[in-house]
Amino acid sequence: MRLAHITDLHVEHTPRVGELVGKRLFGAVNLYLLGRSHHFSCDVQAALPAAVLATRPDRIVCTGDLTATATDAEFAAAKALLAPLLSVPFDCIAGNHDVYTAESLGRYGRYFGPDLAGGALRVPAGPVDLVLFDVCEPAWLSRGRATPSGLTALDAALASSGPCILCLHYPLRGRGGEPYGPPTRALSNAAAVEEIIAQHPNVVAVLHGHEHHGYTTQLPAVAGRPGVSIYNPGSSGYAFMPKKHRTAHFNVYDVEPTGIVAVERYAWTGTSFEPEPGGAYATGG
């Protein structure tokens, strides 16, 4: 199976005045007054679907942050943007920006669904299953949390027989293999998630987003089982900023029952998405 992985598009639409309340007000200041909106590119986002389809994937997964501040207009724009990808089986989870405020809860589910509401869902996907796990909730900080019921649901989803790939928004580990931080933007109980993974040797890989500069690392070996490979392509909607070593990426994995056997990483060159020079992650970010 060829599995394409996109993440962190951050489709933006300037909020209406009536939507500028609470966290969204501060987010809008960050985006439009402090310049963070320039980190993402409408041109790159528009080019992404055709580039992904050109790799002939059998399935596509998105690990969250389709929107910037979770307004209806942003979700509608993201749905229209990604419509061509729906010709292929398409799985998606929400990111922290997709549940930006308490007012936005349920909006992701109406546009993309299913809304896992902190739970987990196992999806048959060919030689392996995908386990989609929601760890995002509205909060003033950018961190996530797996709820007690969510951890129970994850354990049950992973317990089904057969190999699976776990997909969640937040990283479990940093690029050096260390627990991901800082705490203000990490999964607050990542260790509890790792403990559950360690009980299920059928987990063959972990896919995530959230960190806009891509990397690959591993969960450490536990009780004689080998480490579990972790992949983050980096933001698929990033603007082209070569002086800052920033550009958009997406991944394509060749998946066998034993796990991911090959990785292709595509990078935006300023005009098109092309295979990363030197191979996946050769450029280091």
The predicted-structure confidence for 140-199, as pLDDT tens digits, reads as follows 888 999 999 999 999 999 998 899 999 999 999 999 999 999 999 999 999 999 999 999
Q: What is the C-alpha to C-alpha distance for residues 164 and 158, in angstroms, rounded to an integer?
A: 7
Fold of 2-275: Purple Acid Phosphatase; chain A, domain 2 (3.60.21)
| Residue 32: band (very low, low, confident or very high) from pLDDT cuts 50, 70, 90 | low
Question: Which structure tokens are listed for 4?
Answer: 């394409």
Q: Where are the domains of the chain?
A: 2-275
Question: In one letter, which amino acid is 227?
Answer: G
Of 140, 136, 110, 106, the C-alpha closest to 25 is 140
* Phi (first) and psi of residue 100, to 5 degrees: -65, -40
The separation between CA 98 and the C-alpha centre of its own chain, rounded to angstroms, equals: 11
**Measured over all CA atoms, what is the biggest interatomic distance in the chain, rounded to whole angstroms?**
56
Q: What is the C-alpha to C-alpha distance for residues 30 and 40, in angstroms, rounded to an integer?
A: 13
- Tens digits of per-residue pLDDT, 208-240? 999 999 999 999 998 877 899 999 999 999 999
Q: What is the pTM of this model?
A: 0.94
84-109 burial: b if 16+ Cβ within 10 Å, else e: ebeeebbbbbbbbbbbbbeebbebbe
